[in-house]
């Protein structure tokens, strides 16, 4: 069995959500601000809810919150914004 990834992420949906957060300056800046005050265990989901995007999709059509996402990878990405 082979492991398939997309651009180093678990799958394309996870990569796409990370891409938009890291490459759209307003989203990135908001994520950094959010992480400075966040104390919980699931920063990605809470960040998306904080922005009221839980029912929306990225401009490329992927759900911001969905079953295909690797929340571990997205949470790790959010935590790295503090470094």
In the chain the first and final C-alpha atoms are separated, in Å, by 35
Q: In tens digits, what is the pLDDT along the chain, a chain of 83 residues?
A: 456 899 999 999 999 999 999 999 999 999 999 999 999 999 999 999 999 999 999 999 999 999 999 999 999 999 999 98
- Cβ atoms 20, 44 nearer than 8 A: no
Q: State residue 3's pLDDT score.
A: 65
């Amino acid at each position: 069995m082979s492991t398939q990834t997309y651009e180093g992420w678990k799958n394309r949906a996870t990569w796409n959500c990370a891409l938009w957060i890291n490459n759209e300056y307003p989203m990135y800046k908001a994520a950094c601000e959010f992480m400075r005050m966040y104390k919980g265990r699931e920063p990605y989901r809470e960040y998306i809810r904080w922005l009221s995007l839980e029912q929306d999709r990225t401009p490329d059509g992927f759900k911001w919150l969905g079953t295909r996402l690797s929340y571990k990878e997205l949470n790790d990405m959010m935590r790295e914004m503090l470094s």
